[in-house]
Amino acid sequence: MCQNIVGTEGHVKTIRMMNSIRDNLSSQDYLTKITSGSFGEGLEMRGSDIDIMYVSKCAEVCESTNTYFNPAKTYFTMATGDTHPGFTHLRLVHSNDHSVFRLCEMNEGYLYFSNIRLKERILHKRTPFIHGPCMSDKNGEYDIAYCLHSKLWTTQAKQWMTRSHTAWPGYDVKQSILRHGVLFVPIGVKGSIKEDLEWRISFSVGEKLLIITFTHAQLLCYALMKILLKDVIDIDIDCKDLLCSYFIKTILFWISEEVSIAIWRPENLIKNFMRCLRRLIYCVEYLVCPHYFIPDNNLFENKIKGNAQKILLNKLNVLNNYGWHCIAFSKQIPNFHELAFCIKKGQINLYVNNLKQLLFSKMIFADIQSSSCNFLLKKVIHIVLSTKNSKIKQLYLYYISKKCCLLDKLQGFKDVSGNKYTYTQYNTCISSLLRNIRHNAITGWLKLASFFYHTEQHTKAIDLLQYSLLKCSSEKLYPFMNLLHIHYDLFSLYLFRQMPVVLLFKYLLLDQVVFLANSMLIPEELRKVEKTTPCIIPPVVFTHVLPFLCHYHLNDSKKCRNSLRDLQVTIGEKYFIACSYQEAISYNILGIAYQLVGDIPSARQAFKRSIRLYADPDDNSAFWRLSSIS
């Protein structure tokens, strides 16, 4: 049952490996990227946001000034004299960066790093809201935190190094955690006199390493507790936001340290789940939840008070009375009788279920943040040549193809028969575009066809589009789709079951075509007037609108009408169109096609349909296109 929720061990390992590789490619000379939270742990829980930590390499925190200083770096020292356990002030010791001084505040003759000044400075159009230590996007899907790092373990957590004498965590794991040091995130104790100058000591890297050591039975128990919190406890308006998943994780850590590792077996899942629930009840009843690394820091202090405690405690006791059946209140858990029947009939296919989870995953389609494709290529080539692990090689090639497909700032050529230099540049563009064909079935080829269209090689573009259209068959996958019987039959074949997920995506995935706002490859007719947001087009829609544009410029009215008809059918049947947003884009494109052939009434209707589907004038150009013909 639970493997259908969190995936098999192999699935979880694949997600973790993909996160690590994407983080590695996104990290640059001045910062390190870390995917944390559930996604970083290899779990994708419904309702979870994506937590990203950016750790500065230009600054360092130390507890003592008796250390080697690199003059090019900024250094802070910890000042914990009047702070709550688990928090510190960061006193500026050295910096050659004048912008750092503007982020500091003078207090008692010393400069201290202000957490609020930092967050206000790095607010961005994509993440315009401050949410605790993070910056969040308007949809609440991403939380981004900028952090500082100390290479050395903090004194406040020194006792953790020698506290446990059980088998978990093992000695090697502990040493690895100690070597990674600690992080500092920009948030203080709520209500503190110097809240804006306090920084929380974060053990996110250590906690991630601990989760990775979990047996699959431990991970399943952890996932069930998170589901209970999000789907059962938090839906009660009186209990919402009283608890958070970090409390659940902390309780799992303490229990894992206290008991024998041998109890974490699949047959003990129910018993261990109830053990965790009862420990949570105990913590709420006595308002004590010690931080795993710094027990002096009570996570429940000033969090749950008065009547809220009574309501929450009553809720937890009611769930405890249901026993393990309380998890059935979550809609993520299938009906047990139906599930048992399916298992008996052999209809549960974990491979297909894991694939389905990937198609609905936010992380599998997450972008690499590095802006330089050449930088990424050098890094990937070095890794691919130096590693013998074929799975790692394929993942790196997948991500470099995905990234280069966006970085299409290519030189335009109206005449490809010119001098030798022009011809060389032209071939360079072709080879650059051919790097983009490894992450899904057709997007790279469509970008190449768009390049031929841009260079007025319409016949070549049409040939390539016909080839791409042959790939758009019914067994193909696309994000957020519901799998059909044909997919279950296909993935029952040994060939596909043994295929790594990135190869599967290369042959079977039809993903949307994305052009950055400044891309030269966007057909001019489809370009947004403001040129500030990406142009996103469903794949099969693009395979029909581009030949329409080619035939239009070739003055072939018959083939132009045929392509327009195919475009209409594709949109009407929602062929590989996953959501209302993509449907709105498609009707906008259909309106443009109608407008080009002079059918203004049909264009007007198409633009209106697009607006009804997606009524955002900042992101849907159908608004201004409609006004321009009205």
Looking at residue 408, what is its pLDDT?
A: 60
Contacts of 303 (CB under 8 A, 6+ apart): 242
- pLDDT tens per residue across span 261-281: 999 998 999 999 999 999 999
Per-residue pLDDT band at 343 (split at 50, 70, 90): very low
Written out in words, the top-level CATH class of the domain with range 429-472+510-629 is mainly alpha
Average pLDDT over residues 396-414: 71
Q: Are 167 and 257 in contact (CB under 8 A)?
A: no
Residues 6+ apart with CB under 8 A from 286: none
Flag whether pLDDT at 440 surpasses 80. Answer: yes
Higher pLDDT, 495 or 103: 103
Task: State pTM to two decimals.
Answer: 0.82
Res. 515 pLDDT band, cuts 50 70 90 = confident
Element (H, E) at 60: strand 59-62
Is the predicted pLDDT of residue 365 greater than 90, yes or no?
Answer: no
Residue-level pLDDT at 409: 56
Per-residue pLDDT reduced to its tens digit, 44-63: 777 677 889 999 999 999 98
d(Cα 314, Cα 316) in Å, to the nearest integer?
Answer: 5
With cut-offs at 50, 70 and 90, classify the pLDDT of residue 330. confident
Are 104 and 92 within 8 A, CB to CB? yes
| The pLDDT value given to residue 479 | 81
pLDDT score at 385: 78
pLDDT digits (tens, 9 = 90+) for 447-499: 999 999 988 999 999 999 999 999 999 888 888 777 788 888 888 788 887 88
State yes or no: cis peptide before 169, omega within 30 of 0.
yes
Q: Taking 70 as the threshold, does the pLDDT of residue 233 lie above it?
A: yes
What is the predicted pLDDT for the residue at 348? Answer: 43
Task: Name the pLDDT band for 559 (thresholds 50, 70, 90).
Answer: very high
Query: Are 520 and 412 contacting, i.e. CB atoms less than 8 angstroms apart?
Result: yes
Residues 6+ apart with CB under 8 A from 293: 157, 160, 203, 206
Percent of the chain at pLDDT exceeding 70: 90
Q: Would you state the pLDDT for residue 95?
A: 93
514 has which bridge partners?
A: 536
4: exposed, middle or buried (Cβ count in 10 Å: 0-12, 13-18, 19+): buried
Cα separations in angstroms, 256 against 164, 169, 261, 528: 11, 8, 7, 55
Given pLDDT bands bounded at 50, 70 and 90, which one contains residue 148?
A: very high
How confident is the model at residue 342, as a pLDDT?
43
List the chain domain ranges: 49-211, 429-472+510-629
Residue 89 has pLDDT above 80, yes or no: yes
Please give the average per-residue pLDDT across 58-72, as a whole number: 84
pLDDT band, residue 347 (cuts 50/70/90): very low
Confidence grade of residue 350 (pLDDT, cut at 50, 70, 90) = low
Q: Taking residues 300-328, what's their average pLDDT?
A: 91
Task: Round to whole Å and give the CA distance between 422 and 420.
Answer: 5
In eight-state DSSP terms, residue 303 is T
**pLDDT for 335 beyond 60:** no
pLDDT > 50? residue 345: no
What integer pLDDT is reported at residue 276 of this predicted model?
96
Pairing of strands 87-94, 198-202: antiparallel
Counting Cα atoms < 13 Å in the Cβ hemisphere of 254 gives 19
Q: Is the pLDDT of residue 71 over 80?
A: yes
Answer yes or no: is pLDDT of 336 > 50: no
For 281-298, the pLDDT digits (tens) are 999 999 999 999 999 999
Q: What is the mean pLDDT of the chain?
A: 86
Structure tokens at 70: 């690199």
Are 184 and 88 a contacting pair, CB within 8 Å? yes
For the ranges 12-16, 362-366, 368-372, 536-540, the maximum mean pLDDT occurs at: 536-540
pLDDT, residue 413, reads 53
The end-to-end CA distance of the chain, in Å, is 57
Q: Is the pLDDT of residue 208 over 90?
A: yes
Lowest mean pLDDT among 83-92, 359-368, 475-484, 546-555: 359-368
User: In this predicted model, what pLDDT tens digit does every residue of 176-199 receive, in sequence order?
Assistant: 999 999 999 999 998 899 999 999
Phi and psi at 60, nearest 5°, equal -145, 145
Mean pLDDT, residues 406-413 = 58
Question: Is the pLDDT confidence value at 393 over 60?
Answer: yes
Query: What is the pLDDT, as a whole number, of residue 501?
Result: 80
Exposure string of 17-53, with b = 16+ CB inside 10 Å and e = fewer, is ebbebbbbbbbeeebbbbbbbbbbbbbbbeebbbbbb
Give residue 584's pLDDT band: very low, low, confident or very high (50, 70, 90): very high
User: Among residues 594, 584, 569, 586, which one has the least CA distance to residue 615?
Assistant: 584
Looking at residue 370, what is its pLDDT?
58
Phi and psi at residue 260, in whole multiples of 5°? -70, 140
pLDDT over 80 (residue 581): yes
The rounded distance, in Å, linking the Cα atoms of 563 and 544 is: 6
